[in-house]
Amino acid sequence: MPSEHDPERRQFYRIEDRVGLECRQLQGEPTGPPETLFEGGETLPLAEELRRHDAEIRHQLGLLSESDRVLSQLARALNEKLDTVARIMTFQQNPLQDSEWVHVTLSEGGLSFITADSTPELDSLMAVRLTLMPELSQVAAYARVVSVDATDNGNRLHLQFHNMEDAERQQIARHVLRLQARERQQARQRREQRGDTP
């Protein structure tokens, strides 16, 4: 179903992916961060504090790399290891059900997916939380329903992110780039196995 939002959706590169997807339909305008609408949202202040510490660590690592490259690389690896452990612990505390892992079309601008649940009204707002694999990183955002298409398996919802924080948008952008790189590498390996030339 064409809509006035189509040109805006097309300006972002879209990928096909399987993500953990949690949705909450809203009544009226949102009044707080989207994270607070999902299980574990009560730890939002701690998450914000962790982000501040992470930003400071990354800044100091940049300064350290100018004087001691080896030590900087070690500290960076330790920081990434702690970050990975934290994501694993968060996921284990709130594991998603099988039904919450869905195939989506994802971009920095929004996402679309097929659902058999009750369909929200056009132009209504939803809160969504994505769990991205394999990093197990989570992105919570508000999204507006811009179109609904009927399919044989249910309705395909097209959501456009609404007033999304730049940090969350960049997180999705990095995920898209990583997935693109993996797909290119896999395609190259398949060509090499067949003996094809690029």
pLDDT tens for 83-142 read 777 767 666 656 666 668 899 999 999 999 999 888 889 999 999 999 988 877 889 999
| 72 pLDDT higher than 50 | yes
The model's pLDDT over 152-183, given as tens digits with 9 standing for 90+, comes to 889 999 999 999 989 899 999 999 998 888 88
Of the chain, the percentage scoring pLDDT greater than 70 comes to 81
Q: Which pLDDT does position 9 carry in this prediction? A: 47
Is the model's pLDDT at 29 over the cut of 80? Answer: yes
Q: How far apart, in whole angstroms, are the C-alpha atoms of residue 73 and residue 165?
A: 29
- Distance from C-alpha of 62 to C-alpha of 133, rounded to nearest angstrom: 28
Whether 160 contacts 146, CB under 8 Å: yes
Per-residue pLDDT tens digits for 38-67: 877 666 566 667 767 777 887 787 887 888
pLDDT at position 10 is 54
Q: At 26, is the secondary structure helix, strand, or coil?
A: coil
User: What is the distance between the alpha carbons of residues 129 and 53, in angstroms, rounded to a whole number?
Assistant: 23
Q: What is the pLDDT of residue 2?
A: 42
Higher pLDDT, 31 or 145: 145
Q: State pTM to two decimals.
A: 0.69
In this prediction, residue 113 carries a pLDDT of: 96
Length of the chain: 198
Cα-trace Rg, the chain: 19
pLDDT above 90 (res 186):
no
Pick from 159, 181, 158, 178: nearest CA to 170: 178
What contacts 155, CB < 8 A, 6 or more positions away? Answer: 114, 115, 116, 119, 148, 149
pLDDT of residue 44: 58
Contacts 24+ apart (CB under 8 A), 100-105: 100/20, 100/21, 100/22, 101/18, 101/19, 101/20, 101/21, 102/18, 102/19, 102/21, 103/16, 103/17, 103/18, 104/16, 104/17, 104/18, 104/19, 104/21, 105/14, 105/15, 105/16, 105/17
